[in-house]
Amino acid sequence: MVSSMGTSPDTSTRGSDAHTTAVRSHAIATAGTFTNVPTCSYAYTPPTRPSVPARPSAATAAPASRAARRRTAVPLTAAAVLLLSGLLPAAPAFADERSGGADGPDAVKPPAQMSTIGGKQLGRPGTQVDPKAGAPRLPKELSGRSWVVADAESGDVLAAHNAHWQLPPASTLKMLFADTVLPKLPKNQTHKVLTSDLAGMGEGSSLVGVKENYTYSVHDLWLGVFLRSGNDAVHVLSAMNGGKAKTVQEMQAHARQLNARDTHVVTPDGYDEKGQVSSAYDLTLFARSGLQKADFREYASTANAKFPGEFKKGRAGKKTRESFAIQNTNRLLTGFGIPTYKGIAGVKNGYTTHAGSTFTGVAQRGKRVLLVTVMNPQKSEPNEVYKETARLFDWGFKAADSVNPVGTLVRPGEAGAGQDGTSAHGKDEHTQASVSSGHGGSGKWTAIGITGGTLALLAAVAYAVHRRWPLPELVRRRGRG
């Protein structure tokens, strides 16, 4: 199978995100996030010599061949690090890697019944959509095992496919990590990396290039997490947060507070481990929560940055610290290998052996802001997860006013759980939803393109029952000198 990067697979890809070390130079004002917000290009301070290319690592390997990915599912096991009782979801339906694609005879089937958080329809297998007269049809070429299209502000789920199927999340789980830990550590705090900070990283982990005995700021490390999906940066931030076990416990507690009940956290970085699962629905909740935070939005929409490198002696014998360029692995943002998606502003991509490719994105057209999550496309084409996400964005922007919601992104807290699809008042919030099931969302649906659109500056308001949750205005970012 051709990798999603269009390069030959490496021998060690388990747990790595599918990305390359190739770096392109972008001017600060180039488009790539919301249409009238410049793409951020951070510069490490103080760069005294030209940037050096990012060093290749095992983490930059492309996805393994399909033959290498045919593995037996692993059962859910108890996580000793979880100190909170009652946080483990039901045993997950793991996706194995048998051939046949989403529609083939050997295709893995979702559970017949799944969680109904957000609405009863979301607990049903297959494609859920309720079009009004004249609504555009869903795209034909959708092979993801699970996907969700939702309005980021109202929380309306416009369409979904196996929304609550518990699947390995890969590095999209880093959205939960960031949403949990980012508010706790001041961005100007610095830390000298210890050998123990980097212990326990999985083989083939994606790396940004953190080195022991070197000092980094929290800001540097978050750039490494969001842009290069660096497991090394995640582990250092976890150490600064009190350790991996404490961080996992806090992530699980935060997932529960967000009512992301499909999620079981074993590692903070999303690396393949027994029992580590999430769902397209939960990943969408993580993105929606994270995007309420200015720093989260800023990092998620940054396309290019400089990361601290090694110290080198100059001609005068004085040591100065060099930096090297890093580029966001979100290809709809950077346009590396595929066109950028107009209005895109994050959020996070991932790849592991068991998870396949995963992606959650946020984009805006006019005043409409959509979230799309796609998990494990079965079509073996380069960049397929991004292509299917773009098709769903196109459909969502066109169809948003011509479909009845099939569910909702629930509120945080106990009152928002809605396990049976009801509101806090017990009234069914989606009485008109109907089902249109197909094979992987295929059939007689056609993709509808959309053009144009500008950023509407949105004011933040309190999140409450039956209220919209507008995304706060994106920060106008400038390079840091």
Q: What is the DSSP string of 187-210?
A: TT-EEEPPGGGGTTPPTT------
In the sheet with 40-41, reading across from the earlier edge strand, the strands are 40-41, 302-313, 319-327
Residue 154's identity, in one-letter code, is S
How many Cα neighbours within 13 Å face the side chain of 427?
Answer: 4
Task: Identify the DSSP state of 349.
Answer: E
First-to-last alpha carbon distance for the chain, in angstroms, is: 43
Strand ranges (E), 253-393? 302-313, 319-327, 344-352, 356-365, 368-377
Give the active site residue among 3, 229, 278, 323.
Answer: 229
Q: 410, exposed or middle or buried, with CB in 10 Å at 0-12, 13-18, 19+?
A: buried
In the residue annotation, 196 being an active-site residue is answered as no
Task: Identify the DSSP state of 162.
Answer: S
Give the active site residue among 57, 171, 278, 323.
Answer: 171
Size of the chain, expressed as the number of residues it contains: 481
The per-residue b/e assignment along 444-465, b for 16 or more CB within 10 angstroms, e otherwise, is ebebbebeebebbebeeeebee
Pair of tokens at residue 166: 């518990």
Pair of tokens at residue 130: 């309720």
Pair of tokens at residue 55: 């060093």
Rounded to the nearest 5 percent, the helix, strand and coil shares of the chain are: 20, 20, 60
Residue 383's identity, in one-letter code, is N
In the residue annotation, 434 being an active-site residue is answered as no
CB 324 within 8 A of CB 224: no
In the residue annotation, 99 being an active-site residue is answered as no
Q: Treating both helix axes as pointing N-terminal to C-terminal, what angle do 244-257 and 231-240 enclose, rounded to 10 degrees?
A: 90
Please list, in sequence order, all residues whose beta carbon lies within 8 angstroms of the beta carbon of residue 199, skipping any fewer than 6 positions away.
235
Assign 368 to helix, strand or coil: strand
Assign 415 to helix, strand or coil: helix
Q: 439, exposed or middle or buried, with CB in 10 Å at 0-12, 13-18, 19+?
A: middle
Strand-pair partners of 402: none
Give the active site residue among 120, 174, 342, 348.
Answer: 174
Q: What is the DSSP string of 357-414?
A: EEEEEEEEETTEEEEEEEEEE-S--TTHHHHHHHHHHHHHHHHTTSEE-SEE-PPSSG
Catalytic residues: 171, 174, 229
